[in-house]
A and B are shown apart, each in its own frame.
Chain A
Amino acid sequence: MQALDDITVLDLTQHIAGPYATKLMADYGADVIKVERPGGDIARRLPPFQGDTPDPEKSGTFFFLNSNKRSVVLDLATAAGRDAVAALVRKADVVVESFRPGVLDRLGLGWDFIQRERPGISLVSISNFGQTGPYRDYRLTDLTLYGFAGEMYSMGMTDREPTKMAGTASLFESGAAIAPALLATVMAAELNGEGQHVEIALAETHFGGVDRRHATAIAYQFSGRKTLRAAGAASGMPQGIYPCADGWVDFTNAALRPDRIDDMLGYADWLKEPDFVKARTRGNVPSPDVVEAWNANFLVWCLERTKREVWAEARRAKVMCGPLFTTQDLFEDEHFRGRGFWHEVSHAALGTVEMPGRPFILAEGGWELRRPAPLLGEHTVEVLREAGCSEATIATVLQEGAR
């Protein structure tokens, strides 16, 4: 028995943010009916592909994002497609969509339709900038989302362009923010016996988010000060990212506990230099010369050790530190393997593949892989029969979906 196994989600989202939210629902037990247009979710066309050959059944991105869901292919512009979706709405506890604003209404499948077909459930609409406002129809990508709504401005070097996060991280953050809203919406509808049309703008999930944007905004309100774009390497004792024998290690904010730094460094003689001792007393602001001299010694210590050796010393002394791992380092790491971070999955097109499993551990009712990401339309017949569609409708839908 999984925590969300009594919830059915009708999922009309595609790409990354919406599907990540519905993946969380599905991975913890919800029956997520993923409606794909003929040809499929555009994420099926996103790399990486197994063997680098584009194939809608071999996208690693789609594979991760759609575990535990069932795929139904529908052309929502046709009468049979609309009949089928109406039948699915009547079985759903929540409907979630990410069409461009206005599209669902134009298809005749908007909030009025949902209320008519299934009073008491909610519709969650995800859009780039919101269903209203001058940017309603503006396009958005991971890059422009983070640039506009995230804290890109202060990421990078002062004399160069700001830089974004890795991959499509900002879209995954949005997906993580959508998930609690989806579940809360279901709970509110149960509590009140009434649904609502919830609206989530990807931009607002970042403007209101925790990754420094909330802080840089209120810091400006409070003090009129803005946040400089700067890298922090070697600006404290220690501070930022340092090279080591085989890579890099991050010591951001480690200097908050100088006692632990001394322990990590084995109370080396050079630490007893009076300038260093004075510089590291609480509330003191050391001169740049002293910081530079201290870091010259510290750098030697780092360079004599591998990233794993540095981290082991840091862990022993409870110093905040993180080695810069490659994906290979992560994949091979014994800690994560031993904890069951990786989950082996059998998939009809990909064979046996490992992917990250549970994002958190529930002692009861937690993460399970009931089925891998669906093949395109794998469950069209099964799901539509369950929903009570006629065989004639199913036949038409199959024909239209194959176009």
Chain B
Amino acid sequence: MTQKRPLEGVRIVDLTVVWAGPFATMLMADLGAEVIKVENVHVWQPMTRGAMARPPAMLLKIAAAWGGGTPNDEPGDRPWNYNPTFVSLYRNKKSMTTDIRTEAGKAVFRKLVAVSDVVYENNATGTLEKLGITYDWLREANPNIIFVRVPAYGSTGPYYNARALGVHLEAVMGHQLLKGYADADPSHGTAIFSGDYMAGAQGAFAVMAALRQRRKTGRGQLIEIGQAENASPMFTQAIMDYALNRRVQTTIGNRDLNGCAPSGVYPAKSPGTAVEQLDRWIAISVETDAGWLALCDEMGNPGWAADSRFATNDGRLAAHDELDQQIAAWTREHDDYELTHRLQARGVAAMPVLEASRMFDDPQLRSRGFFRAQRIENGQTYEFVGPVWQMPATPVEFYQGPVALGEHNGYVYKTLLGYTDAEYDALLAAGEIGMDYDANIP
């Protein structure tokens, strides 16, 4: 029997950019909320539908794949509808356009707010204020609105106005100094955006909590997610070690935080080089003495492994570098998946370090039907990564493909806000709304 999805009937006005905001609204769309992206054909927001509206093909090719890898590396007619960095966060959402810099555009926006439950934004601090949009302004439009803001460092304090992506605020919370190679300086680290994951997931949670609160009190509210603070639980052990012992932790590379040894990422038999992106690696965590003995057994109990120093975890930890060399000499002769299955059969946590294209061949993901086919605006169908939860009675369906700019203008203006055909056609003809960015936007 079909059940109602948990957020059915909740309408969310989506003013989000980059990743942390769009991930939150996507999770809520997956749970059944109607999420309406408010966009503007006259203004390009960098890092939201791509780096540029009309990127030269050459730039796409030299960009990292996840930044520039549009279909066939071509810009296409409307490149903003299929930038890989963003396209997979736009499922199950609707898109409308209005120019909220103008009074007329703001009036449209105000009408939309009046019939919605939540406004969610994560723009740089001050962006909405410059447009005259504040919590008070929203409350005038809708007294019970729930307004979510995601300032990098919060709306108060000396850093309130600091510009940041996830990578910058994670640096401040300690992540860059706590990850990476123990024997190389931090400039050898790659940018990471796990803080966007935290803020997105916890942002969806925060909205649901506020919806419950509103059910009890009849009132909406302002939610502030200081993104740096929000990311900090990822570093709980380091933070608590300082709080309890005044110890400053440093990176442990791929070793185990709790001191189980050996733990590492080892080379596997590879069809090619790292430059060709054909190198293969296997992650292995030995958690117990029994696990160590099982690993030795799989390695064929070589003479070196019988060393009495390795019988205890303490001994293995002290000799970790030596063990790493020996284990690598064994793993590099074998296929990563073959070793994974052999070690897992013996109770040892081992998994291939998957280059992204290989996930599409993984038997576990295939057996669970993880991927979902979605058609994008250029007419082609591709396999997208699936949902993060399985809810059998209220399933996460991919009911709307990655939304094209302005795809739902007709629905929002006419069905939702009551504009007449004539009024709508006039806005279209005047170029106030549409499905293309202004021709002069690069």
A229 to B225, CA, bound (A): 31
What separation, in Å, do the CA atoms of A132 and B366 have in the docked complex? 11
Given contacts A139-B349, A210-B19, A336-B229, contact A226 B243 (CB under 8 A): no
Do B221 and A362 touch (CB < 8 A)?
yes
Chain A residue, CB-CB nearest to B284: A144
Neighbour of A173 across the interface among B88, B234, B264, B384, CB < 8 A = B234
21 A–B contact pairs at CB < 8 A? A51-B244, A137-B344, A166-B175, A166-B179, A176-B233, A179-B205, A198-B390, A200-B389, A208-B370, A210-B197, A215-B84, A219-B84, A221-B382, A222-B84, A225-B73, A230-B190, A240-B187, A322-B164, A330-B173, A331-B242, A362-B221
Q: A167-B257, A214-B88 are in contact. Are A243 and B225 (CB under 8 A)?
A: no
Q: Residue on A with the closest CB to B387? A: A208
**Known contacts A198-B391, A210-B23, A326-B174; A156 and B190 CB within 8 A of each other:** yes
B417 in the interface (beta carbon within 8 A): no
Highest count of chain B CB atoms <10 Å: which of A145, A176, A285, A356 = A176
The reply to whether B163 and A320 contact each other, CB–CB distance below 8 Å, is: yes
A199-B226 contact, Cβ under 8 Å, with A166-B234, A323-B171: no
Which residue of B has the minimal Cβ distance to A358?
A: B229
Return the chain A residue nearest B243 by Cβ. A354
Query: Complex: how many Å from CA A111 to CA B322?
Result: 48
A188 to B394, CA, bound (A): 8
Which of A144, A175, A256 has the most chain B CB atoms inside 10 A of its CB?
A: A144
Is there a chain B Cβ closer than 8 Å to A267's Cβ?
Answer: no
Q: Give 1 or 0 for each of A169-201: 1 = CB within 8 Å of chain B CB.
A: 110110111111101110110011011111111
Task: Report if A363-B221 is in contact (Cβ < 8 Å); known contacts: A50-B244, A151-B356, A188-B393.
Answer: yes
5 tightest Cβ-Cβ pairs between the two chains A and B:
A60-B240, A322-B168, A219-B69, A166-B178, A147-B283
Which residue from chain B places its CB closest to the CB of A181 in the assembled complex? B389
Neighbouring A residues of B263 by C-beta, 8 Å: 141, 143
For residue A347, give the distance in angstroms from its CB to the closest CB of chain B.
Answer: 11
**Least CB separation from A179: chain B residue:** B205
Interface of B is mostly: mixed
Contact of A350 among B196, B244, B249 (CB under 8 A): B244
Q: Is the CB of A356 within 8 A of B229?
A: yes
Q: Which of B58-66, B105-113, B429-437 contacts A (4 or more CB under 8 A)?
A: B58-66
Q: Are B6 and A328 in contact (CB under 8 A)?
A: no
| Stretch with Cβ within 8 A of B (4 or more), from A80-88, A101-109, A157-165, A394-402 | A157-165
Contact between A356 and B188, CB atoms less than 8 A apart: no
Nearest A residue (CB) for B198: A176
Closest to B158 in A: A335
B187 pairs with A231, CB closer than 8 A:
yes
Q: Which of A47, A221, A231, A326 contacts B177 (CB 8 A)?
A: A326
8 A Cβ contacts from B246-263 to A: 246-249, 251, 253-254, 256-259, 263
Check if B6 sits within 8 Å of A188, measured CB to CB. yes
* A209-B56 Cα distance, complex, nearest whole Å: 29
How long is the Cα–Cα vector from A310 to B3 in the complex, in angstroms?
Answer: 55
Q: Is the CB of A364 within 8 A of B213?
A: yes
Known interface pairs A153-B353, A177-B388; A241-B165 also in contact (CB < 8 Å): no
Contact of A158 among B3, B192, B274 (CB under 8 A): B274
**For residue B86, which residues in chain A have a CB less than 8 angstroms away from its CB?**
215
A169 near B368: Cβ-Cβ < 8 Å: no
Q: Do the beta carbons of A324 and B4 come within 8 Å of each other?
A: no
Q: Say whether B388 contacts A204, CB under 8 Å.
A: yes
Task: Assess the A364–B27 pair: CB atoms within 8 A.
Answer: no
A324: chain B residues within 8 A (beta carbon): 171, 176-177, 186
A325/B177 in contact, CB under 8 A: yes
Quick check: is B46 within 8 A (CB to CB) of the other chain?
Answer: yes
Contacts of A99 in B (CB 8 A): none
**Given the complex of chains A and B, what is the CA–CA distance between A344 and B310 in angstroms?**
42
A231–B281 alpha-carbon span in the complex (Å): 18
Chain A nearest CB, measured from B16 CB (Å):
12
Q: How far is the CB of B299 from chain A (nearest CB, A)?
A: 18
Chain B 259-278 near chain A by CB (<8 Å), digits 1 or 0: 10001111100000011010
Give Cα distance in the complex from A358 to B221, angstroms.
17
| B181 closest partner in A (C-beta) | A163
Of the candidates B187, B189, B364, the one whose C-beta lies within 8 Å of that of A130 is B364
Which of A32-40, A69-77, A245-253, A378-386 is the contact stretch? Answer: A245-253
* Distance between B400 CB and nearest chain A CB, rounded to angstroms: 16
Q: Per-residue 0/1 for B346-361: is the Cβ within 8 Å of any A Cβ (1 yes, 0 no)?
A: 0111111111110110
Q: Nearest residue in B to A170 (C-beta to C-beta)?
A: B194
Q: Is the CB of B344 within 8 A of A356?
A: no
The stretch that binds A, out of B149-157, B403-411, B420-428, is B149-157
| Minimal Cβ-Cβ distance residue in A for B4 | A191
Q: Are A152 and B353 in contact (CB under 8 A)?
A: yes
Answer whether A144 and B197 are a contact pair too, CB < 8 Å, given A192-B393, A196-B393, A365-B213: no
- Measured in the bound complex, the distance between the Cα atoms of B322 and A231 in whole Å is 27
Note all chain A residues with C-beta closer than 8 A to B174.
Answer: 166, 325-327, 329-330
A320 and B168 form a contact (CB under 8 A): yes
Within the assembled complex, what's the spacing in Å between the Cα atoms of A217 and B165?
21
Q: Is the CB of A155 within 8 A of B192?
A: yes
- Checking B47, B66, B253, B264 against A227 with a beta-carbon cut-off of 8 angstroms, the contacting residue is B66
In residues 312-326 of chain A, which contact B (Cβ within 8 Å)? 314-315, 318-326
Known contacts A51-B244, A207-B365; 13 additional CB pairs below 8 A are A46-B237, A130-B368, A133-B368, A157-B188, A165-B175, A167-B235, A176-B233, A200-B390, A220-B357, A283-B442, A322-B170, A327-B239, A355-B239
CB nearest neighbor in B for A249: B171
Q: How many angstroms between the C-alpha atoms of A21 and B250 in the bound complex?
A: 27
Docked Cα-Cα span, A299 to B434, in Å, equals 45
